[in-house]
């Protein structure tokens, strides 16, 4: 299972952000972090390949904020 700090770092790298701390639970993935649909798809593919998550394509539209993704994947904010 991926941890929240690992998820932050992965998303920040995918979106070419200057710091992982820019990724917060309340951040809107597209509007605040500047992700496009390809960025989201690539991130979810990495989560599937590296951590074994299975995320149906129809779920992508439901992920508006980082918290939405964390809740779906059951990633706790704290260890």
Q: DSSP letters along 61-74, please?
A: GG--BHHHHHHHHT
In whole angstroms, give the CA distance from residue 33 to residue 59. Answer: 19
Of 32, 36, 57, 68, catalytic: 36
SS3 for 36?
Answer: coil
Confirm whether 36 is a catalytic residue.
yes
- Catalogue the active-site residues: 36
């Amino acid at each position: 299972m991926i941890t929240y700090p690992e998820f932050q770092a992965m998303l920040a790298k995918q979106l070419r952000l200057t710091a992982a701390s820019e990724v917060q639970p309340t951040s809107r993935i597209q509007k605040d972090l500047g992700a496009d649909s390809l960025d989201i798809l690539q991130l979810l593919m990495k989560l599937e390949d590296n951590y074994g998550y299975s995320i149906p394509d129809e779920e992508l539209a439901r992920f508006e904020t980082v918290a939405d993704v964390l809740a779906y994947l059951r990633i706790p904010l704290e260890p």
